[in-house]
Amino acid sequence: MFVEARAGMLISPQLRRLTWLSYLSMASFGATLSVIGAVLPAVSRDLALDKAQAGFLAAVPAIGFAVATLCGGVLIDRAGLRKIMLVGAVGQSLALLGISQAPGFVFLALAFLLNGLAGGSLEACCNTLIATLYRGRAAGQMNMLHVFFGIGAFLSPLAAGVLVGAGLGWRLVYGAMILIYLGLILVIWREVFPAGSSGEEDQITRAGFKALLLHPLVLLVVIAMFFSVAAEVGFSSWVSTFLLENRGQSAVIAGAGLSVFWLAMLMGRFLASRVAHRFTGPRLILAASLTGSVGVALFLLLPSMPVPAGGSIGTAFLCIFLAGLGMSSVFPSTLAFITESVPRYTGTVTGIVVSSAGIGSTAGPWVIGELAKSNGLALALATVVISLGVVAVVFAGVLRLKFAEGTQHRDLTLSRKLP
């Protein structure tokens, strides 16, 4: 089995190594990003942080992430995947070291900012590498890549909770995670990578970047990505609160509802990785976004559920599962679609689109919280249905464009239309 890349032909063992490097790097990033939730109470207690400071620490990596994914994408097309991936892994090691040794809030906040910057660079590289290795058939592998993000994000809080509960401390948790990135640095240093996109002749110019950013297809995908991630993170951030406060469930049931959502996200991405090759990207995304919106709508329309188990709570969990199953493949499939549509500047377009996702992940929970103050949480969560509806409309429009032009997906590529 051979896969063509810009640097030549990648034979199967090298392809497997690079694919698994992407998987493990993404799992490591997911673990690093999500562990804060498990250790934040201990961090706040040890450093005497108030609620505002603790909330800032949880949010500040998103700022670095949004900046790094945009800049990192452009740098990938200029400097190559290997260099930027090394920068990301080294940066994560330094960030984790800084977090583990932080004497106070300011130092800790700067270390978390570096954590977001390095993590954003690493994610941009992983997405670009998969898009480059599996050109023309990236949707399945992109979904599998984000399965590994979910695995890391699921396991690290559990492990951190055990370590902190055993009295080993949050500093040791972050210190131990440095070992993961030291291993990644060694592998990245020794591995041979394909060019970020097409090599020296395809380094993007300022005019090319502007044309890419303002191209209607890219703008539509940026809008879709913003709303899809705003819906995903917004729903996952508030679903437990909704079960607790609006449906009268216990904290255990409310937490289980969130676990059901993330289990569905993992299963949905794994399923999409198996079947994505049977559908065009826009069709899969359209079906997924509609499925997710139906799941959320049914969940919100259920009558009050005061019973502790069975019946209505089971139905609620089924709706949550349907919502997660639908939303699961939207992000990776959208990313695969746009990188295949812009094969010449894979790194740059990845950075642009993932940056919009980072902004959406910050905006979604905040907007729902603000609306809930005056309109109630049920009405606020209805914005999730609207957001997924926007995604469906965008990709219904893309499908209409394809059929109107009588073209295949590959004829929508933008490479020949950019400076």
DSSP states of 290-336 as a string? HHHHHHHHHHHHSPP--SSSSTHHHHHHHHHHHHHHHHHTHHHHHHH
In the predicted structure, residue 10 carries a pLDDT above the cut 60: no
Q: Which two tokens stand for residue 223?
A: 């809008």
DSSP bridge pairs for 11: 2
User: What is the pLDDT at residue 389?
Assistant: 95
User: What is the pLDDT at residue 186?
Assistant: 93
Mean pLDDT of the chain: 80
pLDDT over 70 for what percent of the chain?
A: 84
Classify domain 210-417 at the CATH topology level. Growth Hormone; Chain: A; (1.20.1250)
Q: What is the pLDDT of residues 171-228, one digit of tens each?
A: 998 999 999 999 999 999 988 787 544 444 456 667 777 777 778 888 899 999 999 9
User: What is the pLDDT at residue 9?
Assistant: 47
> pLDDT grade, residue 90 (50/70/90)?
very high
Per-domain residue ranges of the chain: 2-203, 210-417
> pLDDT grade, residue 410 (50/70/90)?
very low
Classify domain 2-203 at the CATH topology level. Growth Hormone; Chain: A; (1.20.1250)
User: What is the pLDDT at residue 227?
Assistant: 95
Domain 2-203 identical in fold to domain 210-417: yes
CA distance 57 to 310: 38
pTM: 0.74
> Which phi-psi region, left, alpha or beta, contains residue 304 (left: φ > 0; alpha: ψ -120 to 50)?
beta
CA distance 285 to 279: 10
Q: Which of 111-125, 221-235, 331-345 has the lowest mean pLDDT?
A: 331-345
Residue 176 CB partners (closer than 8 Å, separation 6+)? 163
Cβ atoms of 418 and 345 closer than 8 Å:
yes
> pLDDT grade, residue 100 (50/70/90)?
very high
